[in-house]
């Protein structure tokens, strides 16, 4: 860019070349609002190309630099101010609407049960009582800190006696059990952290040695000659329920799998109770049938057992005996065309192999802050937990989708059972007890969606954390009696169930949401700084390593994981003691984030591609108009979550109390954690519904 000229040249143009002799020339790029400065040294910048000595900047240039940096800082402050105003406006709308998580509407009324609502109300009442107690203790400490200066002499003496009695009581009766509970939680925290560290080291070893599961058979030849390669009969199942947004993309992706058409059959297992959705899915299946795809539509009249019942019913078909393997994809999953060619060959000449699991990738991981934080969690789950367990012990929890089962292994393990809300983990544990081995392929991906609203994510996490506790109660006798190696039993009981499914949500909620705030009001019991800050920061660092692009979100991730401990702890207790909410099953909401272009590419022919955007929905809608109640189900609301909101006030109260004892690290943690609970409680982290 040339030196300054025209209006922006100012005095430089009027003074001529003498203006540049005072120092290094400066080029200002006008990229509003983020201006940048480039200093140019060397030959050729001034006329004649003479080499000039490097000279210091003069006062005018320093002034320009400071002004431009000030303008940049002002732009950042303006952005922060606008973001704060938008956040405040969203919070005001939530409070004005007054819609809380206790308000059931539409679909929630069908799934919510009286015991579940009672359980939620009791848990909320406990948190609210704890909050009121902390506010009372804060008032007592503030009054004591003021030394009764504003009180009359008799009142000051009475309050001093009351405070002294409270100090003696808490030192004798409150602090010892609280410190004991804190020490126990710290031990559990260290054990769980050591387990995570060992898994991370195992993942590092896998990458260092470039370990990778390899099929026994050689690479497959071209699919045009099925007789020359290994192309066994594969059954592909797509279970779905009222998922109008994603049925087209999943059916299209499965029908385009690169496998001989005569050697695989697609079952669309539709459990929808909405007639409109049923008609749309049936019509989509018929269109693919007309274009040569081997695909069938199944709809159950009696919808029992949720997904497990749906899969169990499909496996009872008479033609299933002709197939050797079954691949399962949820309604929002889109396998790549080579999925079967990269997974099925691992079964050849490996009769002990029962499951090949692929990892998930996410089409909407950058949609909002909630999806970014979920991506961190799931990347660690697949990259570290699943890969390490699959590589070293040949066992992990089946993810329920994007996997291929040997049908013989399913039948030998007892088939699908409807006794828990985690039928995928149930069948995996029973297959492991029967001696079947699993393989995880970290390099084979299957695209899917992440929940974009906190409401959907919270319900998903509740099901994922209550189901394992139900399964643990049911499987414990079978694990003890089964004839497998002792170390496998120990791994199942102590690591797979107790440490990772029970202890993790227990100590996370108890230590950081209950004990830490209490230690502010009972200073005789304390938590060291390394428990509050350093170890959690190290664990968050390990969790975020599999997704390095998410490093800017390491602090929000740490705070959000502690925030989610409320939901996970509640779910864990519900599943362990078989409370009503443990049996809730809510289909995770999908938005159909696959691009319209992807659907057009996967369409069977040109005529179908032209009709893809509008013909199918419009034709069906004209045939049968949707009733009014169906429209009400589509409505979305942002809600206020009372438990998270109450905990935010509790943590902020404890942060205020920590100022009196000058505990800096604890204050900052409690402050930021309280703000995190406040944002989640006001539903400001996920999808914003206007």
Distance between CA atoms of 38 and 45, rounded to whole angstroms? Answer: 13
Query: Nearest 5°: CA angle at 462, between 509 and 133?
Result: 35
The CB density around residue 88, as the number of other CB atoms within 10 Å, is 11
Alpha carbon 70 to chain centroid, angstroms: 39
Beta bridge partners of 60: none
The Cα–Cα gap between 475 and 419 comes to: 11
> Mapping DSSP to helix (H, G, I), strand (E, B) and coil, where does residue 448 land?
strand
Are 342 and 441 in contact, with CB atoms under 8 Å apart? yes
Given a contact cutoff of 8 angstroms between Cβ atoms, the answer to whether 141 and 657 are in contact is: yes
Specify the DSSP element, H or E, that contains 27.
Answer: strand 26-29
Catalytic residues: 271, 424
Enumerate long-range contacts of 60-69, CB under 8 Å, 24 or more apart: 60/22, 61/23, 61/24, 61/26, 64/26, 64/28, 64/37, 65/26, 65/37, 68/28, 68/35, 68/37
User: Under a CB-based contact definition with an 8 Å cutoff, are residues 240 and 331 in contact?
Assistant: yes
Q: At what angle do helices 535-544 and 175-209 cross, to 10 degrees?
A: 30
Please give the structure tokens belonging to residue 562. 């502690």
Length of the chain: 690
Task: Give Cα 433 to chain centroid, integer Å.
Answer: 30
Residue the block writes with tokens 């399964």: 471
Instruction: Write down the residue that tokens 């991730």 correspond to.
Output: 557
Instruction: Write out the H or E segment, with its range, that includes residue 169.
Output: helix 153-169
Q: Can you tell me the distance from the alpha carbon of 624 to that of 274, in angstroms, rounded to the nearest whole number? A: 12
| Cα–Cα distance measured from residue 242 to residue 446, given in angstroms and rounded to the nearest whole number | 22
The 3-state DSSP class for residue 491 equals helix
Contact 570, 123 (CB under 8 A): yes
């Amino acid at each position: 860019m040339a030196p300054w000229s025209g209006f922006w040249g100012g005095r430089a143009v009027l003074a001529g070349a003498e203006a540049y002799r005072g120092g290094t020339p400066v080029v200002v790029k006008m990229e509003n609002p983020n201006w940048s400065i480039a200093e140019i040294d060397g030959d050729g910048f001034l006329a004649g190309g003479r080499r000039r000595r490097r000279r210091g900047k003069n006062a005018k240039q320093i002034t320009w630099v400071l002004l431009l940096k000030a303008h940049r800082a002002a732009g950042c402050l303006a952005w922060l101010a606008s973001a704060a105003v938008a956040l405040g406006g969203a919070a005001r709308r939530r409070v004005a609407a007054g819609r809380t998580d206790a308000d059931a509407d539409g679909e929630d009324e069908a799934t919510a049960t009286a015991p579940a609502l009672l359980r939620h109300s009791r848990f909320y009442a406990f948190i609210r009582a704890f909050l009121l107690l902390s506010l009372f203790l804060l008032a007592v400490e503030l009054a004591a800190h003021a030394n009764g200066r504003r009180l009359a002499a008799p009142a000051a003496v009475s309050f001093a006696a009351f405070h002294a009695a409270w100090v003696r009581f808490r030192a004798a009766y409150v602090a010892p059990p609280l410190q004991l509970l804190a020490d126990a939680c710290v031990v559990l925290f260290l054990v769980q952290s050591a387990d995570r560290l060992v898994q991370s080291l195992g993942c590092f070893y896998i990458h260092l040695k470039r370990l990778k599961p390899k099929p026994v058979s050689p690479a497959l030849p071209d699919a045009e000659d099925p007789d020359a390669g290994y192309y066994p009969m594969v059954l592909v199942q797509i279970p779905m329920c009222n998922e109008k947004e994603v049925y087209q993309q999943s059916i299209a992706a499965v029908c385009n799998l690169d496998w001989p058409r005569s050697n695989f059959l697609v079952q669309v297992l539709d459990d929808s109770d909405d007639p409109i959705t049923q008609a749309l899915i049936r019509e989509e299946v018929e269109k693919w049938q007309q274009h040569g795809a081997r695909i069938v539509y199944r709809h159950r009249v009696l919808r029992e057992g949720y997904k497990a019942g749906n899969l169990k019913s499909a496996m009872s078909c008479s033609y299933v005996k002709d197939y050797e393997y079954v691949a399962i994809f949820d309604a929002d999953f889109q396998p790549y065309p080579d999925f079967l060619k990269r997974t099925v060959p691992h079964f050849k000449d490996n009769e002990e192999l029962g499951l090949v699991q692929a990892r998930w990738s996410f089409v909407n991981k950058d949609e909002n802050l909630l999806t970014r934080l979920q991506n961190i969690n799931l990347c660690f789950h697949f990259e570290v937990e699943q890969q390490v367990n699959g590589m070293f012990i040949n066992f992990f929890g089946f993810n329920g989708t994007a996997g291929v089962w040997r049908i013989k292994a399913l039948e030998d393990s007892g088939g699908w059972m409807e006794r828990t809300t985690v039928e995928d983990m149930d069948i995996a544990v029973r297959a492991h007890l029967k001696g079947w081995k699993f393989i995880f392929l970290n390099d084979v991906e299957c695209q899917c969606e992440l929940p974009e609203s906190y409401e959907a994510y919270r319900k998903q996490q509740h099901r994922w954390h209550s189901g394992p506790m139900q399964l643990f109660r049911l499987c414990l006798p079978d694990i003890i009696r089964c004839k497998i190696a002792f170390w496998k039993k120990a791994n199942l009981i102590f690591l797979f169930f107790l440490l990772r499914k029970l202890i993790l949500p227990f100590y996370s909620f108890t230590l950081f949401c209950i004990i830490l705030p209490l230690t502010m009001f009972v200073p005789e019991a304390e938590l060291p700084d390394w428990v509050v800050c350093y170890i959690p920061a190290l664990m968050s660092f390990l969790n975020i390593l599999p997704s390095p692009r998410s490093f800017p979100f390491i602090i929000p991730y740490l705070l959000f994981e502690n925030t989610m401990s409320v939901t996970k702890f509640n779910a864990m207790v519900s599943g362990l003691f078989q409370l009503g909410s443990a049996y809730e099953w809510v289909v995770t909401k999908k938005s159909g984030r696959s691009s319209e272009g992807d659907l057009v590419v996967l369409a069977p022919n040109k005529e179908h591609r032209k009709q893809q955007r509008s013909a199918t929905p419009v034709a069906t809608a004209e045939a049968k108009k949707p009733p009014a109640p169906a429209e009400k189900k589509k409505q979305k609301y942002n809600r206020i979550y009372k438990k998270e909101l109450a905990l935010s006030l509790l943590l902020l109260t404890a942060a205020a109390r920590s100022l009196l004892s000058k505990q800096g690290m604890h204050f900052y943690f409690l402050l930021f954690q309280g703000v995190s609970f406040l944002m989640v409680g006001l539903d400001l982290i996920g999808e914003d519904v206007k």
